[in-house]
Amino acid sequence: MIHKFEYDWCIQHKQDPTLDSFNNLWQDQAAVTAFTEQLGHRTQVLAKDEVRRSPFTVNAATAGYAHVGGKLDDITCVVAVVSLRD
């Protein structure tokens, strides 16, 4: 069940008020999560591109292998949030 303050916050920040993730994440955590998911998705899209010369494609060619696209089994996103202490 969504509470009025959650609903108002979602509407104010142009978010879907039916999402339950706000119950468990602070706003900055939600932003990092969204960024990480977007980064991972973009990486998968690039890895599936059969025309693009990825770093993996270039290294495979240097080693004498013919490979087009990225390496789908090795996608990892590492995101760090660094902040100064008060």
Q: How far apart are CA 56 and CA 72, in angstroms?
A: 10
Query: Can you give the pTM of this predicted structure?
Result: 0.54
**pLDDT at residue 63, as a whole number:** 92
**pLDDT at residue 64, as a whole number:** 92
**pLDDT at residue 47, as a whole number:** 86
Can you give the pLDDT of all 86 residues of the chain as single tens digits?
445 666 677 777 777 666 555 566 666 777 777 888 888 888 889 888 888 888 888 888 899 988 877 777 777 777 777 778 86
The 3-state secondary structure of 29-81 reads HHHHHHHHHHHHHHHHHHHHCCCCCCHHHHHHHHCCCCCCCCCHHHCCCCCCC
**Which residues does 74 contact at the CB level (< 8 Å), separation at least 6?**
none
